Structure 1
Amino acid sequence: MGNTHYSNAFKTVAVLLQMVFLIIVIVVFSLLVNLFGRSMFTLSDVGTDSFFDSSYYTKVLSGQLVDLGNYLQFQGSREKSEKDTIKYKQYKMQFEGENSNLYYWYENGGNIRTNMEIEEKYQREYVLKYARELGSYLYYDDSRIYFEGNIKGKSYYFQRNILRLFQNSGENGGLIVAVDMHLPNDDEIKEAADIYYAYFPWVEISVFLGILSSMCFVLFIIYLTLATGRNDEDETIRLYRIDYLPMEILLAVFLIYISFLFAFCAKLGQKSWDIASSLILAGTLVFISDGVLLTLYLSLVRKIKADIFVSTSLLGWSVRTVKKRMRLQPYKRGTVIRMVFLVVVAFFFAEEAFGKGRWWGYVGLLAEIALVFTCTLSQENQRMEILSGITQITGGNMDYKFVESDYTGECRIMAERINNIGMGLSNAVEENLKSERLKTELITNVSHDIKTPLTSIINYVNLIKMENIQNEKIENYVDILEKKSMRLKQLTEDLMEVSKISSGNIELDMQQINMVELIYQTGGEFNEIFEEKGLTIITRLPKEPVMIFADGSRLWRVVQNLYNNAAKYALKDTRVYVELKVEEGWAEFSMKDISEQELETAPDDLSERFVRGDESRGTEGSGLGLSIARSLTNLMGGTFEIHLDGDLFTVSIVFPCIGFSAGT
């Protein structure tokens, strides 16, 4: 059982849920910021359910009192500018008629102004009673400097906005302001109340959801931090393509995105947004930002878990490169020291030239540039010469040597080491050739040494057979001796043939050969052998001659070896297919048979020396027949191929034709 809490399904759900909870947190935060920013909500409003008991109502009413004060001052002014006249008309539309839920009664110097439509509007006591009945009111008696009302902060707002109306009021100055709490008219107070009742009930729920969502978001981030890169099957940290990007690139993406986000938010901040639009916009930005930032964060976590944080960092690569360079040979450190020296001198000359305007600074800077250019060009030429020498060595010229005195610095050290490598390769090749020569000589000598006594053995066997042998057992022994001696003779001849091919001590008499005739002749020699084993030959040869350019005796040896191979290793009582076909100027001779034993060797290995003998010691094969056939075919300019399909063994040789017409 795997750890199902690390499954892809769990991780996908966790990603989606953390995104949902983060959106809730940000939307709640945005809602509270909007409410606080618009003074629609303060901490003192907690537990307050009525709009008329809230700080938002106090703020709205304060604005209304400012406008009312300006309106009353305009009423008492006889001369008004054009701008004041427009404002006056606006205030009149705001406070007169049926456009306002705010009612006022103002007395100053015996003059009474009011928008209350009551019969006793000139009697202060009745007006004050009416204001109290409306629900929310303020009353100020200037003669007694007396405040009364049920609006939060009434004294502060009267002092700030109303007292300036009573600078020359006389003895009976006073002001009564009342708001009908039923809000029958559509004005600014009614609009503020609608907004308040639309959003304020969500404040407490939003705070609770915000706290709960914050906790859930943190828990899911912790889970994703533990689960990312892991799976149910093993403990291997699985990485994605983004994880192999350098950390600096991911950091750059993060900074670019954050910069873009701040710039975008600043641009949006220049416009006025209602609360609903701002919440939708905040949720959308969080959705996009969470996808980007979570991807970068989880990639960072996987880098740390897989211990590739430093190895995939550009800074880490730079540090490793510097350390590696500093650990190199002394001449490398010397190169670094020279480079640092040249940079310091260049800065010095540049300061003298461009900073202080001294002529010798320009001269020194130009001289240093010329020196660096010359040295760089010389080093590049030396490197090109070394590359050319390496090309010659890899091309087989083992005797190529660099003149070490012609090189300097790193190039000289490379030339010395390449010379040593070339000398080692040359020695290895020479030793290998020497070893091959010794092997060839050994085979030749052994074959010659065996051939003389073997000839005597064969001759004596023939003499014995000429005697009148009456003992059947002895006659059987002589037959076995004859077969084994002939096999040994064939093996000796094969070894000498291999020796000649390996040493290149073989001469070819290339001439035009009729492949059809050669195959018929060879097949005729093996008819009796194939019949003894129950093999049926199916021959498919063209009716017309197929001429190729080859050594007749060597080609006959090749075809003979292929027939001999089929006779030895084909399954008894099966068919052997012999085919010669001509296609696009190439003559292809092939033989197919079913192998008596299971073939587990690769096709190319079957034509190596002694492979058949090694794996089938119970048969009469030596493992040299196919090897000799392949070598002779290649020497005569042909190609030799072996194909295996289960137990189906196919061998083919291909030669270019010399003028052909193939009909079947």
Structure 2
Amino acid sequence: MRKQTLKRLVLGLVQQTAALLLLVAIAAVLFNSYLAVDTADGTKVYELSPLDAETEFEDSVIFHDLFRSAVSDILQLMVIKGEIETNDQFDPYKKIDITKFASAKSGGVDCTVTAVYELEDLIKWGRYGVEYTDRIMSMSDFVNYFGPVTSPEHFKLDGDGQLEFVAEAEQTVEEQDAVLRAIEAIPESQRTDRLEDLAFTYFVKESAQDIRVSREDDGTITVYFPMIVNRYATVDGEKQLTAHASNWVDYIALQNNLELTVNTLAASYEQYQNCNDLYRENAGNLKYAVRMVTPDGITRTYTNVSEIENSSDNEITDYFSEYRRYLIYYPDSLEFTGNTGMTESEIYHYLKEYDYAYPDMTHIWIAVDTNYPVAGDSFYNANVVFQRIVPNIWYLIGGGILLVVLWLLIGIYLTVTAGVAYDEEDEPVLYLNGIDHVWIEFMLLAFVACIYAGRIGYDYLMDTANRVYLSHAEIQGREYTRLAAYGVFAIYGFTVSMGFNVFWYSFMRRIKSHNMWSDSFLHWLTSSFGKAVHFVVSHRNSAISSLIPYNLFLLANLAGIFAAYLLRDRGALWLLPALAAIVLDGIVGVLRFKQKAEQIDIVEGIRRIRDGEVDYKLDTEALHGDNREMADAVNNIGEGIRKAVSTSMKDEQMKSDLITNVSHDIKTPLTSIINYVDLLKRLKITEEPAQSYIAVLDSKSQRLKQLTDDLVEASKISSGNIVLNLEPLNLTELLNQAVGEFSDRLGEKKLQIIFDGSDQPGMIYADSRRMWRIIENLFQNICKYALEGTRVYLEMQVEGGRVVASLKNISDRPMNLKGEELSERFIRGDASRTTEGSGLGLYIAKNLTQAQHGEFQIRLDGDLFKILLDFPEYIRPAAEETIDEKKKVNEEDSDKAEE
């Protein structure tokens, strides 16, 4: 069979390459459909349309929008110049009346007072930011802050003849007399409080958003009032704004006007700097001239073309008319000419926004030099990008269409030839690849997953396209981002095309070979079910064959219910199938009950074997089916456990016997060696090296004797062959005895014993001989491994019904083992095993402690070695104490009689 593998592979590669290039072309269209231009208001992004390809840049939406922005900037710049310049120069010492300035901005608050600051101070103040601080005062202090408010000139009578407070009021003599009489009518003890309440109510009403009050526990009112932090002084040297107001209403208005002025001038100054840089002479391709004639006859001309500054209006008009794109507007005579796409209503709207700054006699000339001789401004940059992009967009679109056609043609050919090969006689035959045998349902799921992944990838592509031109990075960084974005688009196109083709051609091969059903999960499921039914029916195992009766049982019940339903109109005939179903259910119920009883017997047998009756056997003759097999398995498990336990016990006994016998066999020659060494020592041999040899023999034989005794003791403990003679025992006395007996050995290593609690009785119930062995092992361990010249701490505590003894010392070598490992057999702190010891001392001590119902713990903290012995406290019974007291009395009587 001859496949067209190479040919299809090459065409497939061409098809995927076409998809890759198609996505690159799409990316180029997307990337070049946006134009980013830097303006005075920041970077603006414009979307380009292929429909603009036949237009000039000056007729494009981009040019018109840039021109409108420039006109807005220039008109705003003229206003700012009038605010902060003197004689066409920035004047930092210009005096600014804040009330007049705020009122001109149409956002100021009506105010009868004002304050004057220098321009530079206000701009710097705005850059720092306006700050407020809460002034806290009583209500009386607040209303009288600017002077007493109880004088009659601050009050008037309302329409009902009631007193009301006014900051200032012009009144006739009659009105003043009436006010004075109303004030005198108030009791003198209440007069001041009443008048202050009226004043406070007035101030709160007029400035409710600024004044906050709280009532204290004693009923007094505390006032919280935000007052501006005066960073700079006025031109007359007054730093406190309150000095310019006579009441709170005026102060609040003045404070608001100051904040508005500060923030406005700071923003205006920043705009002034930006626009001055963009629109100064020879800085860009936009030309402007604005001439104003004030009502007092003063003419001011603002322009970035110095040669026409002193020219007449007609001369300026002739100059600007020479440009291809210009705008000329005389608001006073409503004359408007221009070819920039900007209408008279638009520029009138701009001027109306600043009508307070532009007098009626204002003439405006604005033009753009469309030869763009000055590189770098927004018009130049936009024109360069426009000329590079717009004429080429159609080429990109046309190339994309050709790539789509190529991709479709190759796809159609590969679809027709998919799964077709030729035999030796050049006859077409069908074939399938390995992927074509994957279940079709799984292929469909994978295809849906690929579509979902492609959707996610599409969102990522669009996000990438936005980030390329919405980024404000430098040009070099932007080009790098664009290159990476092209790569992302290319990879996406190649991957999507490849994934689609893999699934598509596989489906085509399946359709041609008619294996859509045979290679499906549903077909496998149905065929597997048929095989399973055959397996169940033909299998002889009871566990499997029981499924058939169960299914028949369900079907019989369903059939009985259905038959009874069909015969419901035939009299009592419907009872027959119902009774049959009930009888069947009863039989099955009895069988299930019996099976459950057998399972309970099996569970009971398992429990008894678990509890140690390994010789227990289940009666398998009374069981049936699966239960019999299970019982046989349980019996075999019990037999296996019995054999394993017997073997383990034999092994442990063998180990114990081996240690005991070997130790006994060693003791006989060892005793002889020790005796002969003793005889040699009695000869008092002084010659060397004989004396040294005898000393070594004596030391090693004693060590071997100790090891043998430890082995025997450890063997007895592990096998449980020790007999304990438990009796009341004072652990403190035992420890004191050990300290005395080991004092010489401890002194040799310069170890100082510190015994805390040596006078505290610690009564326990234990074997005194075994307890001495425990303590002896512990003190020997200290003598061997404690750091020379250190202290050994011995502590005894009796509390909570427990007697706890602890020994602490510093090890003379690093401890690289855990505490619990040191109490195992043949484990020594000296890993090199160069010191004396068998490695059984702590093991014997721990097990003897546990055998006497105590707890043995080893704790390591760096080189600190700590051992804890914890025993239950022995409480002598009351009857025993009575007997002891009687014995003591009798002994005392006997002593007296003898005397």
Task: Give the alignment's TM-score, normalised by structure 1.
Answer: 0.50
Aligned position for 1:330: 541
Q: Which runs of 5+ in 1 are unaligned?
A: 1-217, 229-314
Cα 1:406–1:220 change in 2 (3 A) is closer
Q: Aligned partners of 2:860 and 2:532: how far apart in 1?
A: 55
- 1:659 alignment partner, one of 875, 880, 889: 875
1:227-274 Cα distance to aligned partner (Å, 9 max, x none) = 99xxxxxxxxxxxxxxxxxxxxxxxxxxxxxxxxxxxxxxxxxxxxxx
2:811·2:865 contact (CA, 8 Å) conserved in 1?
yes
Rounded to whole Å, the distance in 2 between the matches of 1:525 and 1:447 is 28
**Out of 561, 564, 570, which is 1:350 matched to?**
561
Is 1:583 aligned to 2:799, yes or no? yes
Could you tell me how far apart the structure 2 residues matched to 1:615 and 1:459 are?
33
Matched, 1:546 2:757: no
State which of 844, 853, 858 in structure 2 corresponds to 1:637.
Answer: 853
Q: Residue 456 of structure 2 aligns to which amino acid in structure 1?
A: L
Q: Does 1:502 align with 2:700?
A: no
Q: CA RMSD in A?
A: 3.4
Amino acid paired to 2:874: I
State the distance in 1 between where 2:696 and 2:651 align.
37
Is 1:369 aligned to 2:596, yes or no? no
Change (3 A) 1:503 1:227: farther
Matched residues in 2 for 1:558 and 1:374: separation? 66
Secondary structure of 1:545 counterpart: coil
Could you tell me how far 1:225 is from its partner in structure 2?
7.2
Q: What are the superposed Cα offsets for residues 142-169 of structure 1, whole Å, 9 maximum, x if unpaired?
A: xxxxxxxxxxxxxxxxxxxxxxxxxxxx
1:590/1:653 contact within 8 Å kept:
yes
Counterpart position of 1:418? 634
The one-letter amino acid of 1:364's match is A
Which residue pairs with 1:513 in the alignment? 729
CA distance in 1, matches of 2:822, 2:767: 24
Change (3 A) 1:227 1:551: farther
Residue of 644, 655, 675 corresponding to 1:459: 675
Q: Report how far residue 453 of structure 1 moved.
A: 0.8
User: What displacement does 1:560 show?
Assistant: 0.8
Aligned to 1:601: 817
The offset of 1:614, in angstroms, is 8.3
1:395-544 → structure 2 map (5 Å cutoff): 395-544=611-760
Instruction: Give CA-to-partner distance per residue, 1:618-650, whole Å, 9 cap, x none.
Output: 121211111111111111111111112222221
Contact in 1 for aligned 2:815/2:829 (Cα 8 Å): no
Say which SS state the counterpart of residue 654 (structure 1) adopts. Answer: strand
| d(CA) in 2 for partners of 1:324, 1:573 | 86
Deviations 1:174-231 (A, max 9, x none): xxxxxxxxxxxxxxxxxxxxxxxxxxxxxxxxxxxxxxxxxxxx99851537999xxx
Runs of 4+ in 1 over 4 A off after TM superposition: 218-221, 225-228, 322-329
Is contact 1:554–1:632 with CA below 8 Å preserved after alignment? Answer: yes
Q: How many residue pairs get matched?
A: 359
| Gap change, CA 1:427 and 1:462, over 3 Å in 2 | same
Identical aligned residues as a percent: 41
C-alpha displacement of 1:409 = 2.4
Residue 803 of structure 2 corresponds to residue 592 of structure 1:
no
What amino acid is the match of 1:336?
L
Match of 2:610 in 1: 394
Quote the Cα distance in structure 1 between the aligned partners of 2:624 and 2:750: 77
Q: Is residue 224 from structure 1 mapped to residue 440 from structure 2 by the alignment?
A: no
Is contact 2:773-2:845 (8 Å) kept?
yes
When structure 1 is superposed on structure 2, of 642-651 and 453-462 the one drifting more is: 642-651
What do residues 481-501 of structure 1 show as CA deviations (whole Å, max 9, x unaligned)? 101100100111111111222
Q: Indicate how the Cα distance of structure 1 residues 605 and 487 shifts in structure 2: closer, same or farther if over 3 A, else same.
A: same
Residue pair 1:325, 1:333 contacting (<8 A) in 2 also:
no
Instruction: Please state how far the C-alpha of 1:420 moved relative to its aligned partner.
Output: 1.2
Matches within 5 A, 1:37-186: none
Distance 1:499 1:352 in 2: 79
Per-residue CA deviations over 1:570-615 (Å, capped at 9, x if unaligned) read 2222222111111201001111122222222222221111011883
Of 598, 602, 612 in structure 2, the residue corresponding to residue 382 of structure 1 is 598
Q: Which amino acid aligns with 1:457?
A: I
Report if aligned partners of 2:849, 2:856 keep a CA contact under 8 Å in 1.
yes
Output one character per residue of 1:72-94: Cα deviation in whole Å (capped at 9) or x when no partner.
xxxxxxxxxxxxxxxxxxxxxxx
Shift of 1:505: 1.8
Q: CA deviation at 1:457?
A: 0.6
SS class of match (1:612): coil
- Corresponding letter in the other structure for 2:597: N
Superposition pairs for residues 3-42 of structure 1, below 5 Å?
A: none
Deviations along 1:371-403, one digit per CA (max 9) or x if unpaired, are 122222222222233233323322333223222
Matching residue of 1:79: none
Q: What is the CA–CA distance in structure 2 between the aligned matches of 1:447 and 1:588, rounded to whole Å?
A: 35
The residue type equivalent to 2:544 in the other structure is: R
Describe the SS at the equivalent of 1:483: helix
Residues 419 and 480 from structure 1, CA distance in 2 versus in 1: closer, same or farther, beyond 3 angstroms? same
- Aligned partners of 1:336, 1:504: CA distance in 2, in Å? 55
Quote the Cα distance in structure 2 between the aligned partners of 1:326 and 1:632. 64
Change (3 A) 1:224 1:643: farther
Letter of the aligned partner of 1:516 in structure 2? T
Contact 2:543/2:625 (8 A) holds in 1: no
8 Å CA contact 1:325–1:332 kept in 2: the answer is no
Q: Secondary structure at the match of 1:611?
A: coil
Cα gap change, 1:225 to 1:412, in 2 (>3 Å): farther
Q: CA deviation at 1:562?
A: 0.9
Q: Answer yes or no: is the 8 Å Cα contact 2:793–2:808 preserved in 1.
A: yes
For residues 543-573 of structure 1, give each alpha carbon's deviation from its aligned partner in whole angstroms, at most 9, with x where no partner exists: 2321110000001101111111111122222
Tell me the distance in 1 between the aligned counterparts of 2:822 and 2:829.
10
2:771 aligned to which of 555, 558, 562: 555
For the Cα contact (< 8 Å) 1:586–1:657, is it kept in 2? yes
Q: Kindly provide the CA deviation profile for residues 445-467 of structure 1, in whole angstroms up to 9, marking residues without a partner as x.
A: 00110001111111111110111
User: Residues 8-36 of structure 1, C-alpha deviation per residue, up to 9 Å, x if partnerless?
Assistant: xxxxxxxxxxxxxxxxxxxxxxxxxxxxx
